Amino acid sequence: MSNTPATADSRSPGTEDTAVAVLQPDTAAKAFVGRSPGQLAWIRLKRDRTAFGSFITVVFFILIALFAPVISRLYGMTATEGFSEKLTYQGLPTGYLGGISGDHWLGLEAGIGRDLFMQLIFGLRTSLIIAFLSAIISIVLGVVMGIVSGYFGGWVDQAMTWFTDFMLAFPFLVFALAIIPIINTAAYDVGEEVPGSFRIAVIIGVFALFGWMTTARLVRGQILSLREREYVEAARAAGAGSAHILFKQLLPNIWAPILVSFSLALPGFIAAEAALSFLNIGVVEPTPDLGRLVYYGRQWLGTPDWAYFLIPATTVFIAVLAFNLLGDSLRDALDPKSSK
């Protein structure tokens, strides 16, 4: 009987199937990769063109505001420097579209003679500082109020809910128009100039005082749905205190709605600050401000220097729109039920 050596084609029938079966687990592990909620949200954001465009616009405005002093140094002039010699006897800037030139990229302020580009970037800096600080303080207050109210329940929840409804009943703009001048005049004597930093602090305080209620309601609803979860019960069984459960167990699980609430609060504060300055209640001279630029510019709409109004008004519009669109896109991206 001859012993014929086995070739590659003389393998047993089950050998190839066994090799494929051995490779299947690795192939499946490569095909299915788990992603965190943050990674899924980032993927949705990258696919959203509106989110990308608004994000670029928001980052551009923030960088302009942050590096305004550097830009001023490179530009060669300050926001308060006047060029009255370049105005006509009617107060209009000489030249085309409000004096736009190589020295003054956006022209000059009619009647005053200051560089409009410098006023714009430092006014944007003022508006964003007020908006960001107001949003941070109001979000912190809202999170603390909402998380305590939702977790403890009972009379604590009832009292905090009643206080939240009471604060929501106040007409914000009317109250701000009344209380801001009262605080400014009470802090300083009659005829004494109120510093710009104090005015900004008052505006931030008023915004934060009336801006936390929506966040508190949102966080309270989230906590009510989470406080009976298994990991919370396990923490209680392990002897964890209320502070640990609130800020170590519950708070990390509600960061998504808090982030959305923060992003949507910013454009509201930007618009509110511009409205107060437009009404001469908010930031006043010599601190640059977008709302006051719009107020001054409207007086020159019927003149050749109509750009004095259009440029700051368009800046406020684009800033508010970009922050709103980014907040909406962020809300859709963080929603697990979203189809985007």
Window from 91-95, 153-157, 265-269, 308-312 with minimum mean pLDDT = 91-95
* pLDDT confidence bin for 34, thresholds 50/70/90: low
Taking residues 276-285, what's their average pLDDT? 87
Cβ pair 276, 199 in contact under 8 A: no
CATH number at residue 265: 1.10.3720.10
* pLDDT confidence bin for 23, thresholds 50/70/90: very low
User: What pLDDT was estimated at residue 22?
Assistant: 46
Across 26-40, 107-121, 230-244, the highest mean pLDDT is recorded for 107-121
**Is 320 contained in some domain?**
yes
Cβ pair 79, 288 in contact under 8 A: yes
Residue labelled with tokens 């922050």: 323
Taking residues 231-246, what's their average pLDDT? 86
**Is 115 contained in some domain?**
yes
**Is 6 contained in some domain?**
no
CA distance 110 to 90: 9
End-to-end CA distance of the chain: 71
pTM for the full model? 0.84
Name which residue leads in pLDDT, 137 or 237.
Answer: 137
Cβ burial, residue 39 (10 Å; 0-12/13-18/19+): exposed
User: What pLDDT was estimated at residue 47?
Assistant: 83
**Is 11 contained in some domain?**
no
**Is 216 contained in some domain?**
yes
Q: How many domains does the chain have?
A: 1
* pLDDT confidence bin for 87, thresholds 50/70/90: confident
**Is 9 contained in some domain?**
no
* pLDDT confidence bin for 336, thresholds 50/70/90: low
**Is 8 contained in some domain?**
no
In which domain, by residue range, is 237 found? 38-334
**Is 16 contained in some domain?**
no
118 token code pair? 């410098």
